[in-house]
Every structure is written in structure tokens, then in C-alpha cells.
């Protein structure tokens, strides 16, 4: 009996059966052949569009494939559920609690994902805003605190007076709050930090171990950590005993310093500004505070500054040099002050030109003998020192070392290493996050909440005012507590943690998601981690991936785990665009997976997403593309319907002696495709070519059925073909494969079957003997593969020993090939 392909029925049916039979459950004790397949968990901000889905489909193909290869696969899912959007929704709508908003979204997304047939082990679901999770996020904070890796300090931060919260640098755009557009202020506030800088060197060095990571991500991490070695040099201030320290990577240019520059935020600005210059400096500081702190220092930005009225003394030649405040100096880097060398640093050059400051050349390349007058831009290359006292004439590389030691000997400076990496600011003045588990007591100072008192629960009965002020500040009882040490009245920290803290350890929690007395079981995480394959967006290349590496290293050093890198292999998938733009609700160009599933079924959606482009690349959504995938699956279905009566009760025998060339060819193609798809999936993520190979193979199969009279169909071949084809299709389009597998009469589930094996004998090509002539005379014979093209055959013929005797020293005029018969080499002597 033949039926039509009806994906909606099939898909619901199999999803139910898989769930009932618990086929995607990872058994924790079976770790000998384990595979931890992790996709980045989403922030549940609304419903999913097909762009989000790509990540999960890629992870799922891998999970299903690895199961078929005999791995015990851990494939978990969860939600990064704390964060601002939930709180903003509560403020805007006025009648929904962030928790309810979040849980509603989670329920919607979970159902969407289930309809996609993603093979998650739902028993391991992790939701970071639930008490049983954030209790352990707080525990993690306490471990960091106890080990000196969490501290509070006053620092200049971006403050949005409207949202009443600190913003990360990334959330400030052109000096304005990314969300509300209010001009951001710099405030000096007490904030909690995690000491990631203690791990800068380890985080940098261990990048080398990450052989399974894309190069671009590793480079981004290296640049973010930004190690540079140089010297810290001390300049005296003219007329008093104050000093000014600068960090320079170019001590070889010390004789070229013509001014000094301070970061606007530096406390030295106030100290060094003379009364006459006070007003001008203040005005400049106000102006700079409106500039984006990162753009300020960027290449294209205009360099601006103002004179403080004070001078420094250059320790190498006692020259008096003016001290400026300049917008391009970052307070957080080095010492927040520089020695400026306009002849050899482009930013200093632009500044000097603008303010008419002297430019002094101290390095010349062999060809370029520029002087101050001819210099059109800073010379940043190598060369010999000029005008540099006793060091004149040295190669500048060598001079860097010599001058550095000279500085140390003379107590003027020392060699230092600097990192661009800053400590991780984790305080957020917001409600919807894990409370920082700290109590302030007048007698005892800062007291961490005892572990047995965790979690510090987020109270639910809060009001959201449009002021954006954290409701925890005015909550009736959250703040007031007794000191856990002395019992006196004390107050709780009202800040919550950055959500990146939540996501820095969730991959550990999946292993023992339900454990109550600990965050995870050491022996289990040691067995299951590092993650074998992590899949996610490249936008997380730095923060999330760096924070996770940091937390893993800390936990290793604290003896909580035995490994020091969390993710062995990383794959970053490209995005899906529509109408030339990233999919987003605001652009109105999203495609809903639900709609596609309704129309074509999830198998078509999955097949199309995998087929549209190599998965690491961005790709443009195209409605006709999913129709094409749907046609392909229909064709699969219809071909099976054609043969099913012939083979459903036929048992495969291990005898593949095929007579017919067509049959040999088809069987060869089948096994070539197994080899190809295995290679495409295994570590290569080439799902697009895997799908196209299946399409090609299906065409060959149809051709066979069409060309061969039905009475002569080879049942054994049909049976072998139809089983193996489904096995290969099943990670991509699992529901149709499972259904046809059943129709073939199989009692097992295809999801629990083995990946097909390659029969090497089938791969062997058919060989024939070919006569080789030279100028029309038979001179040799060669054996060739029947499928070789003319070029390949010509190569073999020309390298044949007997033929070479005739051709050596002669010019080959042309080669004539009569397929399967003769190859004739025409030579001229």
C-alpha cells in the first residue's frame, strides 16, 4: 500500500515515541565512550526564529551521528534566564513579573524546540534564574571571594542616570546609553570585580592548547588579553617632588619625547593642573565625558587635549616637557599616562601637529632620513637611533633592551608586562539577577553569606518603577539582616551579578543538573569534561568563552575539578539573513520555524538549514530553498513507496556478486557516499555537501529503478541501498527516516541503529585493459579504472615504461583517446 508523505503526522508520532522510550538520555556512568555535545544556551527573550534554530540543528546532527557511532552522547539544553530584558518588560508592561515573563518564554521555546525534533536530554535542563541554580552561582562567588578573586573597589564606571545602573563599555554607544539614549556619566562607584587579570598569563598561554578552536576566535582572545612588554619610566614633575609614571613599549624613543599626556579620568589631572589652567581643563573634561571611551582612543578619532600648566623632566636628558590631558589616553591601561613621541607614534604625531608641539626624530631607517621638516607621518618602523645620547647608532631593537637595563640600573624605570585585559566588573544595580551574597556589618565589615545560608533568595514581591531603580534597594526586608558573624544589625548587598557569571559554569551543572547538596559531582565532571564539541555564535568569541575558561581554571586551582580548559572543540556557525539583513523582529524579516514546520515539516526545515551553505558561513534565507528540501524528501518517500512491496519482507543476504554494470555502479556510488558523508560529518561539519551527496545518490537510485525493468530489480541491492540510505539521512531528517525504517519492517529504532559500514570491495572500480599506441603502432597495454577521464588515462599511458622509451626526447603533438579501446600518442621527432 502506498501513501503520500505526510510530515506533520509522522513527526509528532516519532517525537512522542522517542520521548516515551527515553532514547536521548545520557547515562552518566557510561563514560568510557562519551561525547559531550554542547550548544550555547539561549537567552529566552521571545520566540525563536530560524536563525536561532541553526545552532540547535547543527548540534543535533552531530549528536545523532555520534550516537550511531556508538558514543554515549550528552546533549543537554537550558536557558540563560536572568537579565535586563525581563526586567524592562516588567517596567514597560507594569503587570508582569520578570520571572513569569521569563518562564512563559521558556515554555514557548521549549515547545518550539521539541517540534524541531532536537534530541536533547531534557532531564538535564538548566534554568539559571531558578533557586537551585543560582544558589550555586552564589556559591561560586563565595569561593572566588574566599580566595581573593572577588573584591570591591571604587572605580570610574559608565553610569546611566535614567536606567540607574552601571553599563558595560559595550553598552555605551557614542556616549549614550544603548537602551534609552541618555547621556552616560562617569561615576566613581564601589563595584564588585572578579580578578580575571590574575589569570591573564594562563589564559593567554593555554590558547595554544585549543587546537580544536577556530583561529579567528583564538586571535580575538589573544588581542583581548593584549599582552605587551615594555618599561615603566618615572618622570619627575618640574618644581616639586611629585612623579609621573608612564608605560611605554618603546624606551628606545625616550630622547624623542616632546610632551606628556594624561588620561582625563586620572586623579593626576586635578593634582597637576595649575590654577590658571583650571577652567580650560574642566571644560575639556566635560567634553570628553560625552565621548565613547573606546572610540575616543580609536585611530580615526580626532586627537584633542589641553595643557595642564605643569612640566615634567625627561630623566634621560633633563629636558622640561609640557604635560597635557588628552582624549586618546585610556585610564585603565598602563599607568593612565604616556610619554609622547610624535615622530614615532601616529597618535602623538597628530596631536603634536594640531597643537604645534615639537617633533623630534630619534629613529632613522637606512633609506629614510626624514627630519622633523620632511616627516609627513610618524615613522613606526625599525632603524638606527639618532640624537639619543650614548645610545646613538644602535639598532633600535637592541636599544630597547640596552635602554631598559640602563633605566633599571639608574633607578628610573623597570621592565613590566601589561595586559589590556581588565578585571571583570560583575555588579549590576538591577533586580533580575543572582544577588551577590555579601553582608555589610559595622563591626565586622564585609562578610560573605555562609554557604549553609545560600541561596540568598531574590524576593518576588517587588514593584517595578519606571525610574529603573533596583527594587531591592527599597524592599521592606531584603536589605536588613543580622550579621552572620556577630549578630548585629547589618545590610545586604543589593547589587546582583552580571549574567555572564551565570553562563560561565552552566556546562558543569548539566552533568549533575538535579544534585542538591553540591553544584556538581567532581568525579562525574572529570569524566565528562572537557566538552567534546561546543557550538555557538562567534559573537561570544571573547566574553563568554573567556569567562568560562577563567572560571574553569579557578575551579581547577581550587581542587574542585581536574581539567583546566572547558571546551576541547569549538565550532562557530554563521547567521541566517533575510532580505540582506540579520533576522530581527524590529526589521520584520524573521522566519518562524513553527510556520515552516506547519507547511513543510521539520525534516524539510532541518534539511534546508543544513543545505543552504557551509554551516560556518552566513547565508540568505530563501523560500524556494525549503521547497526544494521538501521536494527532495517527497522524492525519497515516493521512491521507497515504489519498492516497498518488493522488499519489505526480504532479508538481506551477504552476497553482493553483481553482474549488471548498472548495479555495480549503483552499489559503488552507495559506498562512496557512505565514505564521503562520514568524512563530511566527522569533525568537518560539511553538512551542506552531505545533503547534496544524498540528493545525488537518490537520483542514481531513481535512474536505476526507471531504467531497469521491474522484474529484474535486484532485491538484495534494493534492500541494502534502502537501509543504508535511511541510516545516512537519519541525523539530518530523523522523522521520515524513522518512519521509512519502520515501513521497511525494522523492529529497532533508527535512532538506536549503527552508522553504515563501508564495503571496500564495492568501492573497487571496474578495470579494463587499454591498448596504447605510439604513432598508430601498438607499443604497450595499461590497466585503467573505467571511470577515469582522459587526462588521468593519458598520464598513466605517458608514464608507462615501454611508452617512455618511444616518447623520451620527442615532442608530443597530440593524444587521441577512443574510450575503452585505444589511446594513441602522436609524437614528432
Indicate which of Zn ion, ligand ANZ, none lies near residue 341 (CB less than 5 to 8 Å, by partner kind).
ligand ANZ
Binding to ligand ANZ by CB under 6 A, coded x per residue (else -) over 292-311, reads: -----x--------------
CA dist., res. 63 & res. 73, Å (int): 6
> Hey, what's the cell of 50?
530560524
824 touches 815 (CB < 8 A): yes
**Residue 814, strand partner residues:** 826
- Show Cβ contacts of residue 522 under 8 Å, excluding neighbours closer than 6 positions: 560, 561, 562
Residue 169 beta carbon to ligand ANZ: minimum distance, rounded to whole angstroms:
14
Residue 139 beta carbon to Zn ion: minimum distance, rounded to whole angstroms:
21
Residue 490 beta carbon to Zn ion: minimum distance, rounded to whole angstroms:
6
| Burial group, residue 5, by CB count within 10 angstroms (0-12, 13-18, 19+) | buried
Q: Which of 8, 228, 526, 672 binds ligand ANZ (CB under 6 A)?
A: 228
Residue 492 beta carbon to Zn ion: minimum distance, rounded to whole angstroms:
13
Indicate which of ligand ANZ, Zn ion, none lies near residue 330 (CB less than 5 to 8 Å, by partner kind).
ligand ANZ
270 touches 347 (CB < 8 A): no
Binding to ligand ANZ by CB under 6 A, coded x per residue (else -) over 233-262, reads: --------------xxxx--x---------
Residue 295 beta carbon to ligand ANZ: minimum distance, rounded to whole angstroms:
13
Indicate which of ligand ANZ, Zn ion, none lies near residue 443 (CB less than 5 to 8 Å, by partner kind).
Zn ion
Pick from 314, 134, 352: nearest CA to 233: 314
532 touches 35 (CB < 8 A): yes
Residue 484 beta carbon to Zn ion: minimum distance, rounded to whole angstroms:
8
Stretch that binds Zn ion, among 48-56, 442-450, 457-465, 716-724 (CB under 5 A): 442-450
CA dist., res. 470 & res. 711, Å (int): 79
CA dist., res. 574 & res. 554, Å (int): 31
Residue 409 beta carbon to Zn ion: minimum distance, rounded to whole angstroms:
51
Indicate which of ligand ANZ, Zn ion, none lies near residue 812 (CB less than 5 to 8 Å, by partner kind).
none
Beta carbon nearer to Zn ion, 2 or 443: 443
Stretch that binds ligand ANZ, among 121-129, 326-334, 432-440, 465-473 (CB under 6 A): 326-334
332 touches 157 (CB < 8 A): no
Beta carbon nearer to ligand ANZ, 245 or 599: 245
Binding to Zn ion by CB under 5 A, coded x per residue (else -) over 480-509, reads: ---x-xx-x---------------------
Task: Using the Cα atoms of residue 773, residue 774, residue 780 and residue 786 in order, give the sign of their dihedral.
Answer: negative
Stretch that binds Zn ion, among 436-444, 669-677, 678-686, 689-697 (CB under 5 A): 436-444
What is the gyration radius of the CA atoms in the chain, in angstroms?
Answer: 35
Q: Does 404 bind ligand ANZ (CB under 6 A)?
A: no
Beta carbon nearer to ligand ANZ, 229 or 810: 229
CA dist., res. 39 & res. 527, Å (int): 19
Cell numbers 521571545 correspond to what residue? 46
Cell numbers 583564538 correspond to what residue? 218
Q: Where are the beta strands (DSSP E) in 613-752?
A: 619-620
Residue 31 beta carbon to Zn ion: minimum distance, rounded to whole angstroms:
46
If residue 231 lies in a helix (H) or strand (E), which one and from where to where? strand 227-237
Beta carbon nearer to Zn ion, 485 or 635: 485
Q: Does 364 bind ligand ANZ (CB under 6 A)?
A: no
Q: Does 495 bind ligand ANZ (CB under 6 A)?
A: no
Site for Zn ion in 14-43 (CB under 5 A): none
Residue 586: DSSP 8-state? G
- Show Cβ contacts of residue 411 under 8 Å, excluding neighbours closer than 6 positions: none
Task: Using the Cα atoms of residue 773, residue 779, residue 785 and residue 789 in order, give the sign of their dihedral.
Answer: negative
Residue 449 beta carbon to ligand ANZ: minimum distance, rounded to whole angstroms:
37
If residue 261 lies in a helix (H) or strand (E), which one and from where to where? strand 259-262
Pick from 332, 322, 325, 393: nearest CA to 358: 322
CA dist., res. 71 & res. 66, Å (int): 6
145 touches 408 (CB < 8 A): no
Site for Zn ion in 396-435 (CB under 5 A): none
Cell numbers 577563567 correspond to what residue? 550
Q: Does 189 bind Zn ion (CB under 5 A)?
A: no
Site for ligand ANZ in 334-363 (CB under 6 A): 334, 336, 338-339, 341, 344-345
Residue 330 beta carbon to ligand ANZ: minimum distance, rounded to whole angstroms:
4
If residue 677 lies in a helix (H) or strand (E), which one and from where to where? helix 661-681
SS3 23: coil
Residue 339 beta carbon to ligand ANZ: minimum distance, rounded to whole angstroms:
5
Q: Which of 108, 444, 749, 765 binds Zn ion (CB under 5 A)?
A: 444
Residue 483 beta carbon to Zn ion: minimum distance, rounded to whole angstroms:
3
Beta carbon nearer to ligand ANZ, 341 or 825: 341
Q: In 445-569, which residue ranges form alpha helices assigned H by DSSP?
A: 499-502, 506-509, 522-528, 543-557
Beta carbon nearer to ligand ANZ, 249 or 491: 249
Residue 449 beta carbon to Zn ion: minimum distance, rounded to whole angstroms:
12
Site for ligand ANZ in 433-462 (CB under 6 A): none
Cell numbers 589641553 correspond to what residue? 306
Beta carbon nearer to ligand ANZ, 343 or 636: 343
Q: Does 807 bind ligand ANZ (CB under 6 A)?
A: no
* Burial state string for 9-37 with b = 16 or more CB within 10 A and e = fewer than 16: ebbeebbeebeeeeebebebeebeebbbb
Indicate which of Zn ion, ligand ANZ, none lies near residue 714 (CB less than 5 to 8 Å, by partner kind).
none
CA dist., res. 226 & res. 550, Å (int): 16
455 touches 371 (CB < 8 A): no
Number of residues in contact with Zn ion, rule: CB under 5 A? 7
Beta carbon nearer to ligand ANZ, 315 or 334: 334
> Which residues lie near Zn ion (CB under 5 A)?
441, 443-444, 483, 485-486, 488
Question: Which residues contact ligand ANZ (rule: CB under 6 A)?
Answer: 228, 247-250, 253, 263, 297, 329-330, 333-334, 336, 338-339, 341, 344-345, 418
Amino acid at each position: 500500500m502506498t501513501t503520500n508523505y505526510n510530515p506533520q503526522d509522522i513527526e509528532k508520532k516519532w517525537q512522542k515515541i522517542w520521548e516515551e522510550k527515553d532514547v536521548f538520555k545520557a547515562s552518566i556512568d557510561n563514560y568510557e565512550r562519551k561525547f559531550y555535545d554542547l550548544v550555547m544556551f539561549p537567552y529566552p527573550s521571545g520566540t525563536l526564529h530560524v536563525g536561532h534554530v541553526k545552532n540547535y540543528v547543527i548540534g543535533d546532527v552531530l549528536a545523532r551521528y555520534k550516537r550511531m557511532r556508538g558514543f554515549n552522547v550528552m546533549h543537554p539544553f537550558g536557558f540563560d534566564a536572568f537579565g535586563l530584558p525581563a526586567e524592562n518588560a516588567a517596567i514597560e508592561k507594569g503587570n508582569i513579573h520578570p520571572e513569569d515573563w521569563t518562564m512563559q518564554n521558556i515554555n514557548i521555546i521549549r515547545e518550539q524546540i521539541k517540534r524541531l525534533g532536537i534530541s536533547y536530554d531534557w532531564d538535564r535542563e538548566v534554568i539559571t534564574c531558578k533557586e537551585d541554580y543560582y544558589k550555586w552561582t552564589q556559591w561560586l562567588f563565595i569561593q572566588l571571594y574566599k580566595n581573593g578573586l572577588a573584591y570591591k573597589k571604587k572605580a570610574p564606571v559608565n553610569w546611566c542616570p535614567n536606567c540607574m545602573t552601571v553599563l558595560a563599555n559595550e553598552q555605551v554607544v557614542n556616549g549614550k546609553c544603548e537602551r534609552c539614549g541618555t547621556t552616560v556619566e562617569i561615576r566613581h562607584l564601589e563595584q564588585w570585580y572578579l580578578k580575571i587579570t590574575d589569570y591573564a598569563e594562563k589564559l593567554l598561554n593555554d590558547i595554544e592548547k585549543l587546537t580544536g578552536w577556530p583561529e579567528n576566535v583564538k586571535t580575538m582572545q589573544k588581542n583581548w588579553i593584549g599582552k605587551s612588554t615594555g618599561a615603566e619610566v618615572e618622570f619627575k614633575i618640574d618644581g616639586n617632588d611629585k612623579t609621573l609614571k608612564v608605560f611605554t613599549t618603546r624606551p628606545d624613543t625616550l630622547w624623542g619625547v616632546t610632551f606628556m599626556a594624561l588620561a582625563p579620568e586620572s586623579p593626576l589631572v586635578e593634582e597637576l593642573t595649575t590654577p590658571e589652567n583650571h577652567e580650560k581643563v574642566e571644560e575639556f573634561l566635560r567634553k570628553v565625558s560625552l565621548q565613547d571611551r573606546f572610540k575616543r582612543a580609536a585611530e580615526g578619532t580626532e586627537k584633542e587635549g589641553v595643557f595642564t600648566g605643569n612640566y615634567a623632566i625627561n630623566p634621560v636628558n633633563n629636558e622640561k616637557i609640557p604635560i597635557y590631558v588628552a582624549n586618546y589616553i585610556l585610564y585603565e591601561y598602563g599607568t593612565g599616562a604616556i610619554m609622547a613621541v610624535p615622530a614615532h607614534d601616529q597618535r602623538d604625531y597628530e596631536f603634536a601637529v594640531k597643537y604645534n608641539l615639537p617633533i623630534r626624530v630619534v629613529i632613522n631607517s637606512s633609506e629614510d632620513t626624514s627630519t622633523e621638516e620632511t616627516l609627513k607621518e610618524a615613522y613606526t618602523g625599525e632603524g638606527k637611533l639618532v640624537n639619543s645620547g650614548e645610545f646613538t647608532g644602535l639598532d633600535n631593537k637592541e636599544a630597547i633592551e640596552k635602554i631598559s637595563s640602563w633605566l633599571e640600573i639608574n633607578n628610573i624605570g623597570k621592565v613590566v608586562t601589561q595586559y589590556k585585559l581588565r578585571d571583570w566588573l560583575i555588579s549590576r544595580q538591577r533586580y533580575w539577577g543572582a544577588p551577590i551574597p555579601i553582608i555589610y556589618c559595622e563591626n565586622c565589615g564585609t562578610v560573605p553569606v555562609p554557604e549553609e545560608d545560600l541561596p540568598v533568595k531574590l524576593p518576588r514581591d517587588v514593584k517595578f518603577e519606571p525610574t529603573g531603580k533596583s527594587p531591592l534597594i527599597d524592599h521592606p526586608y531584603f536589605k536588613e539582616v543580622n550579621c552572620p558573624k556577630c549578630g548585629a544589625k547589618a545590610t545586604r548587598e543589593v547589587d546582583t551579578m552580571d549574567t555572564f557569571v551565570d553562563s560561565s559554569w552552566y556546562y558543569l551543572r548539566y552533568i549533575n543538573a538535579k544534585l542538591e547538596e553540591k553544584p556538581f559531582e567532581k568525579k562525574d565532571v572529570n569524566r565528562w569534561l572537557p566538552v567534546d564539541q561546543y557550538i555557538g555564535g562567534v559573537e561570544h568569541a571573547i566574553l563568554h568563552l573567556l569567562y568560562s575558561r577563567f572560571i574553569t581554571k579557578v575551579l581547577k586551582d581550587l581542587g574542585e575539578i581536574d581539567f583546566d580548559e572547558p571546551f576541547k572543540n569549538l565550532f562557530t556557525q554563521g547567521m541566517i539573513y533575510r532580505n540582506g539583513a540579520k533576522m530581527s523582529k524590529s526589521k520584520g524579516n524573521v522566519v518562524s520555524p513553527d510556520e515552516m514546520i506547519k507547511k513543510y515539516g521539520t525534516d524539510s526545515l532541518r534539511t534546508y538549514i543544513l543545505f543552504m551553505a557551509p554551516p560556518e558561513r552566513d547565508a540568505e534565507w530563501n523560500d524556494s530553498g525549503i521547497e526544494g528540501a521538501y521536494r527532495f524528501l517527497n522524492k525519497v518517500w515516493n521512491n521507497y513507496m515504489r519498492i516497498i512491496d518488493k522488499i519489505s519482507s526480504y532479508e538481506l543476504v551477504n552476497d553482493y556478486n553483481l553482474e549488471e554494470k548498472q548495479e555495480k555502479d549503483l552499489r559503488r556510488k552507495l559506498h562512496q557516499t557512505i565514505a564521503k558523508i562520514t568524512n563530511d560529518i566527522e569533525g568537518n561539519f560539511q553538512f551542506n555537501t552531505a545533503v547534496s551527496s544524498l540528493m545525488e545518490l537518490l537520483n542514481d537510485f531513481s535512474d536505476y529503478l526507471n531504467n531497469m525493468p521491474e522484474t529484474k530489480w535486484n532485491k538484495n541491492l534494493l534492500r541494502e541501498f534502502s537501509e543504508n540510505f535511511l541510516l545516512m539521512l537519519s541525523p539530518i531528517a530523523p522523522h521520515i527516516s524513522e518512519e521509512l525504517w519502520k515501513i521497511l519492517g525494522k523492529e529497532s529504532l533508527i535512532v538506536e541503529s549503527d552508522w553504515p559500514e563501508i564495503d571496500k570491495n564495492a568501492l573497487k572500480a571496474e578495470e579494463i585493459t587499454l591498448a596504447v599506441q605510439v604513432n598508430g603502432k601498438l607499443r604497450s597495454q595499461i590497466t585503467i579504472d573505467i571511470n577515469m577521464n582522459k587526462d588521468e588515462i593519458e598520464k598513466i599511458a605517458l608514464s608507462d615504461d615501454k611508452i617512455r622509451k618511444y616518447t623520451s626526447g620527442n615532442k608530443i603533438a597530440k593524444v587521441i583517446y577512443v574510450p575503452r579501446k585505444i589511446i594513441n600518442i602522436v609524437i614528432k621527432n
